[in-house]
Amino acid sequence: MSESASDWPRKTRELHNHHMDSTQWNDFAFRDDDVIIGTYAKSGTTWTQQIVAQLVYGGDPSVAIGEISPWWDMRIIPPEVREAVVAFPGRRIMKTHLPVDALVLSPKAKYLYVGRDGRDIGFSLHHHHLNHSDLAFELMNNTPGRVGPPLPRADPDVRRYFNHWLTTDGGDYRPFWENISTWWAARDLPNVKLIHFAALKADLEGQMREIADFLEIEVPPAKWPQAVEHCTFDYMKANAVQMVPMGGIAWDGGATTFMNKGANGRWKDVLSAEESAAYEQAAVQNLGADCARWLATGEGA
pLDDT digits (tens, 9 = 90+) for 156-172: 999 999 999 999 999 99
> Which amino acid appears at position 114 of this protein?
V
Residue 129: per-residue pLDDT: 93
Topology of domain 22-297, CATH: Rossmann fold (3.40.50)
**Segment (H or E) for 35:** strand 35-38
Residue 248: per-residue pLDDT: 65
Residue 6: per-residue pLDDT: 52
Residue 242: per-residue pLDDT: 83
For CA atoms 20, 11, 100, 122, the dihedral sign is positive
Residue 1: per-residue pLDDT: 41
Residue 2: per-residue pLDDT: 45
Low-confidence ranges of the chain (pLDDT < 50): 1-4
Segments making up each domain of the chain, as ranges: 22-297
Contact 55, 227 (CB under 8 A): yes
Going by C-beta distance under 8 Å and a sequence separation of 6 or more, which residues neighbour residue 91? 33, 34, 35, 56
Residue 245: per-residue pLDDT: 73
Strand partners, 111: 36, 192
Residue 269: per-residue pLDDT: 94
Q: Using alpha carbons only, give the angle 246, 249, 250 rounded to the nearest 5 degrees.
A: 95
